[in-house]
Amino acid sequence: MMVGFNGKACAMLATLVALAGCTSTPPAAKPAAGSRTVLQHVVYPAGYEVNVIRIILPANTNSPHHTHPDLESGYVARGSVTIAIDGQPEHVLHAGDTFETPAGAPHIVKNGPQETEIVSTYITELGKPLTQVLPQ
């Protein structure tokens, strides 16, 4: 499912695809519930960095209302979640689904009755935080 893309994100993603073979990924360990594990971090000379992160969401939890400064591209590895992006209908995602969250889009991730695993790739300008939690 395509949630959103912009021109800047497309250019960054094209660069990422072209350079994908340039780094190695550390071996994956068994993830803990409610965890975020950095699987890969790459800094590019053009002033961007890429972070691939495994996110384990415990059953019946929601993320805080938050944004990402640039593109988030994700894959639901197991379980299912609902993504609620402000101003858009909610989208239910199941294991095997992919998604993109537009840069700066306020959103919440709602988890159901089972633990869910998501692998997300964040492409950001160097030094920007990956996530900004918004006031309730």
Instruction: Tell me the pLDDT tens digit for each residue of 58-80.
Output: 999 999 999 999 989 999 999 99
- Reduced to 3 states (helix: H, G, I; strand: E, B; else coil), residue 27 is coil
pLDDT value, residue 124: 92
Reading the block at residue 10, the tokens are: 């497309």
pLDDT value, residue 45: 86
Report how far residue 88's alpha carbon sits from residue 85's, in angstroms, rounded to the nearest whole number. Answer: 6
pTM comes to: 0.73
pLDDT value, residue 3: 41
Residues sharing a CB contact under 8 Å with residue 95, sequence separation 6 or more, in sequence order: 76, 77, 78, 79, 80
pLDDT value, residue 68: 94
CB-based contact 39:54 (threshold 8 Å): yes
| CATH class, 7-18+46-128 region | mainly beta
pLDDT value, residue 51: 95
Query: What's the count of helices (H) and strands (E) in the chain, helices before strands?
Result: 1, 10
Positions of the chain with pLDDT lower than 50, given as ranges: 1-31
pLDDT value, residue 113: 93
Could you tell me how many residues make up the chain? 136
Residues sharing a CB contact under 8 Å with residue 100, sequence separation 6 or more, in sequence order: 2, 3, 4, 5, 9, 71, 72, 73, 74
pLDDT value, residue 22: 35
pLDDT value, residue 55: 94
pLDDT value, residue 36: 86
Report how far residue 52's alpha carbon sits from residue 34's, in angstroms, rounded to the nearest whole number. Answer: 17
